[in-house]
Every structure is written in structure tokens, then in C-alpha cells.
């Protein structure tokens, strides 16, 4: 079978042709330009148009007999539609932290904080669509009053392709409005926010499919009635693509943002709310922790802090490799606020300990290290409730940097297994479709090929342990209580 896997991520579109026998046959990666996304917001109609153009280009390059379309998108996005189902706002992504002041008011209520977390696996934080909606209701009532429907990035794309207003339970679990126990919208929370169920999509498993609209099929020269699988969030699909729905396998994704996840048959919540719990599929929940700063911090450093300076990421890696670890500055990677473990969306990024002798390589080393230190904080928080995983499988843009991968192994003090495959969440979307069509019988038993294993260097691990203690000291000094 051949699947057309479509992914709308934070930083780019991916259009891929995936064969159940051969794997990827063709992949087109389309980075967003400024007209489509500034990371914080995305142009919904422009996104869809760019996706259609990408599909046309990849299908015209070769004649493929497509059996189904499957979707992957980002968690925690929000789009408001009018009564005619037309966008009245841009898509607000997880990076939109403008609800900070509204959130701060509610998070002072410890009982409310704990209640929402216990029900949904989500805290009171600006990344979640629930709090974006409440913020709009309180700060921009004129916009809120025009909204007839609330949807997400992925579901908007699905609706344009099929005409159906449906939400993947996987996407819904990252909204703050979805009960992680009942696997349905939570009526108490909807009432709290003043949201009618009719304003939200009907919920279905991520394997649910609807026929492609005739007009779209004609436009793309695809068969009429081709099944479109609703799919789900890139993080959950990464877990599928990595073969990590099995017990004891942790995924570590380091792309635009970063996350760690473990699959369980029931909700797994931490007493101190330092982690989250979302839904994957077929009853599986994901216990995890995530960071808002990862590859986006590298992009900021390269494009804004130094305005490129003619250095490629590879060249920056080479310069960072010459850094004296013990004398390097410390970087707190909170350019887009903090998710786990502290959930402080107003936390700031900073370089600490800068000296006159530091060069660009030293600063870049600090950025790479700071991202991984925040992820290691997440690892410590997650393993407090799950225990140590048997294996850590890594994926994302970090796989383009052997230097950064080795640093990850050194900091975590664990073997790190690479995927050997780019676009892991896109693979997950394809495997999900193959499961929906019966080609992959048991998705939990799916096992991909693997790449290189990075083993920690004991000397470097000891050096990073000391650096991590310094990082934590600065992290704690910048703590702002809820």
C-alpha cells in the first residue's frame, strides 16, 4: 500500500509518499515563509493552499497509486471560525504566550490548578487552547463574540480535504478541555469557559477516516472517495513511528520544541504536576514532559543573535566542539517561556557567566547544552513517576548534528538510539494509516529500523553533571511562584 502522509508542523510542511514495502518513496519539505508563519501564529488558508501546491508537485513528479491520505499536525493550536466556518483569527500555536496575564490570575487558585490537571493531564498554562479561549473572552470580547466554532490547525486541514468537522482525540487531549479518563470533552470545564459542545468538533479515534472531497480529488487528480485518515498530533505519531507504544521505550524528540514520552494503558499523573498526560490511540496514554525551547533557540541564535555571520549549523558545531566546557557560559533556553517542569510561561531566556574571551562557538555550545539541560530536567521529573526507561529513542532535527547527539548521551548518561529515519512523525502518520487499512495488524508491535547508538563519555558526563548543577542554581534563582 502507498500512503500520502501530510504533516503541518510548527516550522514546515511535509508531503511524503510512503510505501508499506519500501518506506519513503518521496518527501517534500516546505519551510514556512513569513506570510505563512511567525512560529506564534500561522495563516490557516495560506497553509492549506501551500499544502495543496506541495501535493500537486510531488504527485506530478511521479505517478503513484495512492491508497489513502493521513495527517499529522501540532498539539495545542487554536483557530476561531465564524458561522460560515471561515477563519476569523490566525492559527495560534503552542508558542503563543500572550494569555500569560489571564493565566496568572487563575493559576493562583491551587484547587483549580490541581482539579484541571487531574481531569485533563494539562495544567493552567498559556500553551493550551482552553486558556487562549478564556484570554480572548476576557481581553478581546469583540473577537470572541464572533466565534461560532473552535478548531485546530490539523482539523482545519482535515475539514478542507473532507468537508467534515471532526477532531482527533489525540489532538483534543492537548487542549485542556478533554478528560483524559473518559476520553471525551469535559462538560464541567466547557461550562467554566462558557463553551458549548456545538462549538467544538465531534471526537474520533485517530484512525477514523472520511472520503476525500470530490472537488479536492479532481484538483489533485486523485481517486474519488480516497480515504483521509484524521491522524493526530506529531508527538503522538512520533511515538508510533518510533515503535514506542511498547512498555519501557522512551522517545526523545528534539525539533522546533522538545519532548519526552512513555506509553501507558492508563493515565499517569505526577503529584507535583511537573509532567503532562495526553491521549495517543486505542486506549494508550502518553506520560510526558516538554520544552518550548529547542531547535527554535538554535534558529534564533543563528539568524537573530548573529544574523547568520556566514556560518552553517555544521560550522557552528565545529566551533562549539572547541569549547572549554568548564569555562563556557550557561544558557537558560526559555525564549518562548517554560513548559515542564515548572510551567512558568513568563520565564525568560538568558546567557549567564559571559566573559570577554568567549567566542561564538562558546555561546553556541551553551545554547545546545541549555536545551538539553531543560530536557534533562523533564527527564528527571518524568522518571520520578515512571522509573528509568529501558531504552531512549531520539528523533528530530537533532539527528542532523552528531555533535549534539553525543552531547545528549553525555548529559543523560544513557545510550541514545537514533532513528536512522528522518521525519519520524510523518512515518507515524503513514503507519497509522496502514493500521487503519488493516495492513499493519497490531500497531503496538510495529518496529522500525534504527540508526546509530550514541554512548556517553564518562569524562564528559562528569563535567556536564557539574554544569547541570550550576544550570539548576540559576534556574531556581529565576523562579517565579504561581
The number of helices, as runs of H, and strands, as runs of E, in the chain is: 16, 23
Cα separation values, 223 from 59, 226, 228, 350, Å: 13, 6, 12, 53
Q: Are 288 and 269 in contact (CB under 8 A)?
A: no
Mean pLDDT of the chain: 94
Above pLDDT 70, what percent of the chain?
99
Q: Give the pLDDT of residue 482.
A: 42
The C-alpha torsion from 146 through 152 and 154 to 155, rounded to 10°, is -60
Above pLDDT 90, what percent of the chain?
90
DSSP 305: I
Q: Give the pLDDT of residue 423.
A: 85
Q: Give the pLDDT of residue 305.
A: 72
Q: What are phi and psi of 185, to 5 degrees?
A: -55, 145
- Does residue 421 carry a pLDDT above 80? no
Q: Give the pLDDT of residue 481.
A: 58
Q: Kindly state the average pLDDT of the residues 460-482.
A: 90
Where residue 312 falls among pLDDT bands split at 50, 70, 90? confident
What is the spatial distance between Cα 155 and Cα 72, in angstroms, rounded to a whole number?
10
pTM: 0.93
H helical segments located in 186-312: 187-193, 214-220, 234-241, 295-300
Which residue, among 69, 107, 142, 123, has the nearest Cα to 426 in the 3D structure? Answer: 69
Q: Give the pLDDT of residue 308.
A: 59
Which residue, among 27, 32, 33, has the nearest Cα to 14 in the 3D structure? Answer: 27
Q: Give the pLDDT of residue 309.
A: 65
| Omega within 30 of 0 (cis) for the link into 341 | yes
Q: Give the pLDDT of residue 204.
A: 97
Cα separation values, 137 from 92, 130, 134, 152, 201, Å: 15, 11, 5, 17, 19
Cα separation values, 82 from 151, 152, 167, 193, Å: 11, 14, 17, 18
What is the spatial distance between Cα 359 and Cα 83, in angstroms, rounded to a whole number?
55
Report all structural domains of the chain as residue ranges with CATH numbers, in order of start. Answer: 2-233 (3.30.420.40), 243-418+452-482 (3.30.420.40)
Cα separation values, 259 from 131, 243, 315, 479, Å: 21, 16, 26, 21
Q: Give the pLDDT of residue 82.
A: 96
pLDDT, tens digit, 9 for 90 and up, residues 153-178: 999 999 999 999 999 999 999 999 99
pLDDT, tens digit, 9 for 90 and up, residues 45-88: 999 999 999 999 999 888 889 999 999 999 999 999 999 999 99
Amino acid at each position: 500500500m502507498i500512503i500520502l502522509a501530510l504533516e503541518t508542523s510548527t516550522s514546515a510542511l511535509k508531503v511524503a509518499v510512503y510505501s508499506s514495502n519500501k518506506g519513503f518513496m518521496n518527501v517534500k519539505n516546505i519551510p514556512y515563509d513569513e506570510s505563512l508563519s511567525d512560529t506564534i501564529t500561522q495563516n490557516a488558508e495560506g497553509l492549506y493552499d501551500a499544502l495543496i501546491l506541495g501535493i500537486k508537485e510531488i504527485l506530478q513528479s511521479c505517478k503513484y497509486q495512492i491508497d489513502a491520505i493521513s495527517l499529522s499536525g501540532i498539539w495545542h493550536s487554536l483557530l476561531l471560525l465564524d458561522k460560515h466556518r471561515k477563519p476569523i483569527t490566525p492559527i495560534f500555536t503552542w508558542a503563543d504566550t500572550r494569555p500569560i496575564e489571564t493565566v496568572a490570575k487563575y493559576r493562583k487558585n491551587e484547587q483549580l490548578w490541581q482539579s484541571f490537571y487531574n481531569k485533563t493531564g494539562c495544567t493552567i498554562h498559556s500553551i493550551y487552547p482552553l486558556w487562549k479561549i478564556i484570554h480572548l473572552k476576557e481581553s478581546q470580547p469583540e473577537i470572541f463574540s464572533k466565534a461560532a466554532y473552535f478548531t485546530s490547525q490539523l482539523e482545519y486541514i482535515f475539514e478542507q480535504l473532507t468537508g467534515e468537522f471532526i477532531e482527533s482525540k489525540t489532538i483534543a487531549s492537548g487542549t485542556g478541555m478533554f478528560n483524559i479518563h473518559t476520553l471525551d470533552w469535559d462538560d464541567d470545564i466547557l461550562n467554566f469557559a462558557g463553551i458549548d459542545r456545538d462549538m467544538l468538533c465531534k471526537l474520533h479515534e485517530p484512525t477514523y477516516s472520511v472520503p476525500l472531497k470530490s472537488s479536492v480529488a479532481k484538483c489533485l487528480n486523485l481517486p474519488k472517495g480516497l480515504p483521509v485518515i484524521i491522524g493526530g498530533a506529531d508527538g503522538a505519531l512520533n511515538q508510533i513511528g518510533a515503535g514506542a507504544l511498547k512498555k519501557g521505550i522512551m522517545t526523545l524528540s528534539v525539533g522546533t520544541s522538545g519532548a519526552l514520552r512513555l506509553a501507558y494503558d492508563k493515565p499517569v499523573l505526577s503529584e507535583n504536576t511537573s509532567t503532562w498526560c495526553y491521549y495517543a490511540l486505542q486506549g494508550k496514554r502518553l506520560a510526558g514532559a516538554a520544552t518550548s525551547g529547542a531547535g527554535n533557540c538554535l534558529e534564533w541564535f543563528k539568524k537573530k543573535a548573529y544574523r547568520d555571520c556566514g556560518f552553517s549549523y555544521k560550522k557552528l558545531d565545529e566551533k562549539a566542539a572547541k569549547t572549554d566546557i568548564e569555562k563556557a557560559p550557561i544558557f537558560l533556553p526559555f525564549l518562548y517561556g517554560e513548559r515542564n517542569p515548572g510551567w512558568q510561561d513568563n520565564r525568560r531566556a538568558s546567557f549567564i557567566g559571559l566573559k570577554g574571551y568567549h567566542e561564538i562557538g562558546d555561546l553556541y555550545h551553551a545554547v545546545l547544552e541549555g536545551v538539553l539541560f531543560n530536557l534533562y530536567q523533564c527527564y528527571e521529573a518524568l522518571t520520578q513517576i515512571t522509573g528509568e526507561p529501558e531504552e531512549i529513542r531520539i528523533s528530530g532535527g537533532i539527528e542532523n548534528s552528531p555533535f549534539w547527539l553525543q552531547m545528549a548521551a553525555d548529559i543523560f548518561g544513557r545510550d541514545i538510539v537514533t532513528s536512522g529515519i528522518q521525519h519520524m512523525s510523518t512515518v507515524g502518520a503513514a503507519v497509522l494509516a496502514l493500521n487503519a487499512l488493516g495492513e499493519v495488524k497490531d500497531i503496538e508491535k510495529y518496529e522500525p529500523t534504527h540508526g546509530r547508538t550514541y554512548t556517553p563519555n564518562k569524562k564528559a558526563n562528569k563535567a556536564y553533571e557539574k554544569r547541570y548543577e550550576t544550570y539548576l542554581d540559576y534556574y531556581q534563582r529565576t523562579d517565579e511562584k504561581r
